[in-house]
Amino acid sequence: MIIGVPQEVKNNEFRVGLTPGNVSGLCKQGHSVLVQRGAGEQIGLSDESYQDAGATLINSAAEVFHKAEMIVKVKEPQAQECAMLHEDQILFTYLHLAPDPKQTRALMDSGATCIAYETVTSIQGALPLLAPMSEVAGRMSIQAAASHLEKTNGGLGVLMAGVPGVSPAKIVILGAGVVGRNALQMAVGMGADICIFDRDIDRLRQIDLLYGNRVRTFYSDSLLIEQEVAEADVVIGAVLLPGAAAPQLVTRDMVKKMKVGAVVVDVAIDQGGCFETSKPTTHADPTFVLEGVVHYCVANMPGAVARTSTFALTNATYPFVEALANRGALKALSIDHHLRNGLNVHKGVLTSRPVAQAQKLDFMLAEEFFAA
């Protein structure tokens, strides 16, 4: 198979879909890999390292998209990339379609087979290709919050850890999934005053066993969330419904009641965000202030630590890339229902129920295609 790796074009996105090590593995199995020049240069993965691994260097994204049978990316394709996709091509990347009708329509119009990292599942029912970036984003969310709490960055002027005689920052974490637990780990390490919400009692029990009275755990209840958010210095939005739009747990009225200079970090912004006041931002312009509250809503947070993120992501995605290359899309999807759960669009048809529900579109389950 001919596999293409274009350079990412999203704002300040320096991750890359395959490492030289991945390229070497694919080439040794007889596949051809086309890598756009400069795709990994910003994170120390030189064109020469890709060439030495067996890749063919390509000057433009247009040529990569034209020649490749499978495109392996990191972030959702931008409009100009969607326009270059073609029928019978495989796209394997993050998609986050639920809050993005334009991208959904563009992918359907392309005729390509589009598989989303974020909905591929594991035998344990987890999301193995989302987890590495959720770990990174969860840890980064506390770094971002600590930075933007500083008065010079528009915040309240609170030190996350406090000092002897002065209280630490109060942090509310909404969601105890991978993002929430990683945010929690960092916040505990910094000595913050933390509470975390979730609807999974077993997760809350695990957190209680691990951290004891250093963390307060709450079952997600709208009244309790409102009370805790009003008193918080920082609120981390870490709620995920796989493939679906994130639930908006914090309303504009709740944000109005927060302290002036408090910080919200909406890690769920890729799926629409869990704050009513959220809108996507970029690393170039990461925050905005609304109702006196600093909003950090960067849609590709792990891109800021792009080298770490690239290796963490490709460690997880490479076995699936290998399976798609060795077997072809239809066979790989037919024999692996976990990979099949990642199929969002196939030959112009939407195959994701959560996306269809979010956008009120018709859909056909992937199983129906293979049954036919």
**Digit-coded pLDDT (tens) for 92-150:** 999 999 999 999 999 999 999 999 999 999 998 899 999 999 999 999 999 999 999 99
Task: Collect contacts of 322-331 with beta carbons under 8 A, ≥24 apart.
Answer: 322/25, 322/26, 322/29, 324/1, 324/70, 324/90, 324/92, 324/115, 325/1, 325/3, 325/26, 325/29, 325/31, 325/70, 326/1, 326/29, 328/1, 329/70, 329/90, 329/113, 329/115, 330/370
d(CA 19, CA 5): 10
Whether this prediction's pTM lies above 0.85 is answered by yes
**What's the pLDDT at 372?**
64
**What's the pLDDT at 102?**
97
Q: What share of the chain is helix, strand, coil (3-state, %, to 5)?
A: 45, 20, 40
Marked catalytic residue, from 100, 193, 198, 270: 270
**Annotated catalytic residue 198:** no
HSE value, Cβ hemisphere, 13 Å, CA-based, for 140 = 22
- Mean pLDDT confidence for 269-290: 95
**What's the pLDDT at 11?**
85
Q: Where are the alpha helices (DSSP H) in 124-177?
A: 131-148
Digit-coded pLDDT (tens) for 51-60: 999 999 999 9
User: Residue 213: pLDDT band by 50, 70, 90 thresholds?
Assistant: very high
**Annotated catalytic residue 148:** no
- Does position 370 have pLDDT exceeding 80, yes or no? no
**What's the pLDDT at 182?**
97
Marked catalytic residue, from 31, 96, 295, 346: 96
